Amino acid sequence: MRINQRVVSQAVVIATGVSSDGKREVLGCAVGDSETEAFWTEFLRNLRDRGLGSVQLVISDAHRGLTNAITTVLQATAGQRCRVHFMRNALAKVTKGHAEMVAATIRTIFAQPHGAKVGEQLDNVAQMLRGEFPAVADLLLDAKADLTAFADFPMTHWQKIWSTNPLERLNREVKRRTDVVGIFPNTAALLRLSACVLIEAHAEWQDSDRRYLSEGSMRLLTPPPPTVLEAKKATPTKTSRRRIAATA
């Protein structure tokens, strides 16, 4: 893209979400320097100012600028670290010959029968790997809260919330369409084309009869408020009526 007569690299960032009815939505996109916390903070604030609220989970990689922005703008929101990105970080700390064994061991964390076992298995895996791969063990323990946030949600959601893979597919489609152009004349041109691709995806998701997450499972996240029953008024007895009359 050309900025001030120079060709520079800029990122298209995309935010998607799942609404309370279980359907996916494109929340927004922006073009800028995705390496800076200031950019991510402005992007998230824009989403919030446009009405984004009641966010229960944000799924992302461990980019420091992004995670800091999430903490600043979306306070009290749980964060799930993408397991795919985490696995790449972990395997970068072991030799190629040990990579498959370490990967298989880490994957057992995500194969537990219920949420209570997930954190326990992470601790077990870290202990198993500590002797030969202490750097991986430390990485697991440091990332425990973010890597296992999915376990607090319905099990039927797990495969769709423990990584950013669904978003990566959308990113690839945007890249495929923008690669045809190559060098854009300005930021607005890149944003327009990217937005057109995202509008198509959003419309397809909204028009589809299929839901990304079932309505029943979504209700588990936002249960209806408890029904408040009014106390039944007791009918005064004759004695109490006489007392009332006497008092009056």
For residue 175, the enclosing domain spans 1-81+164-248
CATH code of residue 217 = 3.30.420
- Read off φ and ψ for residue 236, nearest 5 degrees: -60, 140
- Read off φ and ψ for residue 78, nearest 5 degrees: -70, 150
Lowest mean pLDDT among 116-130, 135-149, 166-180: 166-180
Q: What is the pTM of this model?
A: 0.82
The one-letter code for the residue type at 24 is R
Axis crossing angle, helix 134-142 with helix 115-130, rounded to the nearest 10: 150
Examine the domain organization and report whether 176 and 240 are in the same domain. yes
Examine the domain organization and report whether 94 and 212 are in the same domain. no
* The pLDDT of residue 228 is above 70: no
Q: What is the pLDDT of residues 133-143, one digit of tens each?
A: 999 999 999 99
Examine the domain organization and report whether 70 and 168 are in the same domain. yes
Examine the domain organization and report whether 8 and 68 are in the same domain. yes
In a domain, 156, yes or no: no
pLDDT of residue 202: 96
In a domain, 16, yes or no: yes
Examine the domain organization and report whether 115 and 217 are in the same domain. no
The count of structural domains within the chain is 2
In a domain, 158, yes or no: no
Q: What is the pLDDT of residues 11-62, one digit of tens each?
A: 899 999 999 999 999 999 999 888 899 999 999 999 999 999 889 999 999 8
Measured CA to CA, the distance from residue 68 to residue 179 in angstroms comes to 31
Q: What is the pLDDT of residues 66-114, one digit of tens each?
A: 999 999 999 889 999 999 999 999 999 999 999 999 999 999 999 999 9
